[in-house]
Structures are given as C-alpha cells and as structure tokens.
Amino acid sequence: MIVDLHTQVWSSLDQLGTEIAERIRRRQTENWGQFDGSPAAHEQAMKCVDVALVFGWRSQRLKAEVPSEFIADFVRRDPARRIGIAGIDPMAPDADEQVERAFDLGLTGISVSPACQGFHPAHSDALPIYEKCAEAGAPLFVMTGSPNPASAMMEFARPSMWDEVARTFPKLPIVVNQLGWPWVDETLALIEKHDHVFADIAGISTRPWQLYNALLTASGVRVLDKLLFASGYPRDVPAKAIEVLYTVNSFSHGTQLPTIPRSQIRAIIERDALGLLGIDLDGAGRSLDSEREIEGESGVADRDRSLSLDSESRSALTAGQDRDD
C-alpha cells in the first residue's frame, strides 16, 4: 500500500490567507507550477497512491482557514482512499472546540504550524491540544517549510523545539513535515531520539540532491525506517515524488559516492505509515482490500494502468538501482 501522508485541498486559494495566496499566485506567473488545490485536481493526482491524508488549514495570524467541515465532506466522497486531518490553531480562542468538532466530524488527527500561527511548540496554550490528541490516540502533524509568508516566525519552526513536547507526551505520534527543512539534521536527531516521532519527505522528495543527502544521513543514523512518504500535493504530485525517489542514486553512478539500497527506497514508499501512527485502517486499508477482491485480476490490471508510473516505467526507472543493492 502506498500512502501519501501529506496533501492539501481547498475551494479557494484565498482560504490559505492573503499572504500565502499572493505568494503562490506570483510563483504561478513565474512557472513554478499551478498549485491546483481543487478537489477535482486532487482526485486525478492521487490515482497512483492507495490512500491520501488530506489536510485542513487554520491560522488566526494569517486570517486563513480551510475548515474541518470542508475536509470532512471531501473525505466522505471517497472514504476508502482519503483520511482527513484538521488544521488547528492553538492560539485561537476556540481551539479546544475546534479539536472536538474535528473529532466529531470523523477527522483522524490534527496539524499545527508554529511558524505561521506564531507560537512556541511548547506554549502553554498548545499543550492541552496535544493532550487531547494523546487521549484520543490521534497523531499530531507539524507543518513546516514552504511556501511560508514573510510574516511567518521561523524561530518557531525549528524541529528541536519539539523535543520538550515529545518528552511530555512520549506516546503521542508526531510527524514533522518536509523533514523539517531547512533544519533536516535537527529533524533526524529528533526522530532518532524519540520512538514516536517521525518525519515525512514532502517537498524535499522532489529536490533530488537534497533528498540524496538526507537519505544518506538518515541511513547513517539508522532512522530510514522513520521516514514516511508524502508528496506535499499540490506543491508536487506523488508520481513525480516516486520517480525521484527511485532515481535518487543517479548521482552516484560512475563515482565512488555511496548509494541507498533500492529495498530501503521502496520501503519508504510502501511503508505502513497508518499502522505506525495508529490510524484506524477500517476506512482505508480494509475497504481497499475488499475492492480489490471484487475487482479481480482484470480490475487490478485496469487500475494499475491508470497509475502515472506504470510497471514498465517503474522497471526502467529502477533497473539501474538493482546494480547498487
């Protein structure tokens, strides 16, 4: 099973807040990509994965909100392949109520963004939110990285600041987005220290040189098994992220540079992220298995042909990798 652990969707770009929306629109004119967060575009892009986590977004500081109700409605349209994550701003006066509402709607976890919400990760107002997650067995996702607006407080984005939270809630699953970029080494140190802290590779997954170095470092400190696949859609699409992962060793061909074994790359892509994070498989894994049994071999073949990376393409991409194992 391939799980895209971080995707976003919205009905209007302005839901992300004026600053972020303007930044994205400017990048669109500079050919940085379309950043199409529409439900229709999301559905098309996710054909090459089995399950996608879909994130809401809230920042009182940026006057931004992709409501939990919107995410829950989107998830209900395809509950076997989508899992909803609420965007919660711990600094908002109704943060507690928003968490309760998210869980009532059936959303599976919450996400926070200290830089864009303007709070230290161990802020006293944030701790009750984490406690609610711990009590509910719901994972906590830490939003980091780009696109950050100019008003974002980067001093609160450092992954090392989550050490206190991880010590306070040692059983709470925490996922640091984008490997904590630009503080990748801090993130690797954090996930090496705490059993229930993980990192996704969104964003960096389509920057081959950074990805190559990050994976080598992660291998060196023995935390490759705590890296989770994510595209960061709509910034990047999962098909492209998978392609870059399978070709990341191209830098080492014809050189003495080390390689990352193909088996470990495949493990990142196909890792049981839902199981590691304690996310209920009833709405995702079991439903998918049932669909596959009904489809039979022909149905599975049809579905495989719809993938952006078909089997022949994957074979071509990975042929050179076998020599590196």
CA pair distance 208, 201, nearest whole angstrom: 12
Tokens of 151: 């008003």
Instruction: Give the pLDDT score at 145.
Output: 65
Instruction: Give the pLDDT score at 299.
Output: 39
Q: Which residues contact 118 (CB under 8 A, 6 or more apart)?
A: 61, 91, 153, 156
Rounded to two decimals, what is the model's pTM? 0.85
Find out whether 182 and 159 touch, Cβ atoms under 8 Å: no
Backbone angles phi, psi at 87, to 5 degrees: -90, 120
Average pLDDT by stretches of 10, the chain with 325 residues: 97 91 79 78 96 97 96 97 98 97 97 97 98 97 84 95 98 97 97 98 92 97 97 94 96 94 97 95 41 38 39 40 44
DSSP string covering 29-77: HTTS------HHHHHHHGGGSSEEEEE-EEETTTTEEE-HHHHHHHHHT
How is residue 313 annotated by DSSP?
H
The closest of 314, 311, 290 to 301, measured between CA atoms, is: 311
Instruction: Give the pLDDT score at 237.
Output: 94
Instruction: Give the pLDDT score at 148.
Output: 82
3-state secondary structure of 8: strand
Residues of the domain holding 101:
3-322
Instruction: Give the pLDDT score at 31.
Output: 58
Q: Report the run of H or E that residue 227 belongs to, with start and end.
A: strand 227-228
Number of separate domains in the chain: 1
Residue 85 is part of a domain; what is its CATH number?
Answer: 3.20.20.140
Instruction: Give the pLDDT score at 30.
Output: 62
